[in-house]
Amino acid sequence: MAINFDVRRAEPADALGMARVHVDTWRETYRGLMSDSELDDPGLLEWREKFWTAALTDPRYEKNNVAVALHDDRLIGIAMSGPSSDLAEEPQELYVLYAYASSHGSGVGAALLNEVISPSAPAVLWVADPNPRAQAFYRKNGFIADGAVKVDDGVTDIRMVRSFQTN
């Protein structure tokens, strides 16, 4: 599917739009994996807007890389990476990567991923399981499941790692 889009670093003024993408894509992706009460919580948008405002303005998060994808000046995807909280040997972690289902297959996800983590850089991420589309996307971008699993709020996540070694 071909759509025209731009990817750029996120700015504080993007926080509300990023929150909308975050909430909408959670509802598209996680219905049936997360509780309906959590996904339909009337305060979810406000909670996510506070999260993104902090991520874009609080000095504690200055090492994070945050990007947005836009189509016709409308946010259609978001991504954030930062220091790995999990594996010291993988210095970067992908924390967030969401794009509307209507943009899947357009290259938006790969562009966002490459904006927040260099395609040649080792990294780690956690992805919901089951989520075969996302897992296939990450495998296509060099990540492999390493066997680590965690359950948070009833959602099972698997860890995927992209390691590059020089010979």
DSSP 8-state secondary structure symbol assigned to residue 13 = G
% of the chain surpassing 90 pLDDT: 85
What is the distance between the alpha carbons of residues 45 and 16, in angstroms, rounded to a whole number? 8
| Full residue range of the structural domain in which residue 11 is found | 6-119
Domain for residue 127, yes or no? no
Structural domains of the chain, count: 1
Domain for residue 54, yes or no? yes
pLDDT in tens, 83-117: 998 877 878 999 999 999 999 999 999 999 999 99
SS3 assignment, position 40: coil
**CATH code of the domain containing 62:** 3.40.630.30
**Residue 37 Rama label (left phi>0; alpha psi -120 to 50; beta):** alpha
Look at the alpha carbons of 91, 156, 149, 163 in this order and tell me if their dihedral is positive or negative: negative
Domain for residue 63, yes or no? yes
Domain for residue 147, yes or no? no
| Residue ranges for the chain with pLDDT beneath 50 | 166-167
Domain for residue 124, yes or no? no
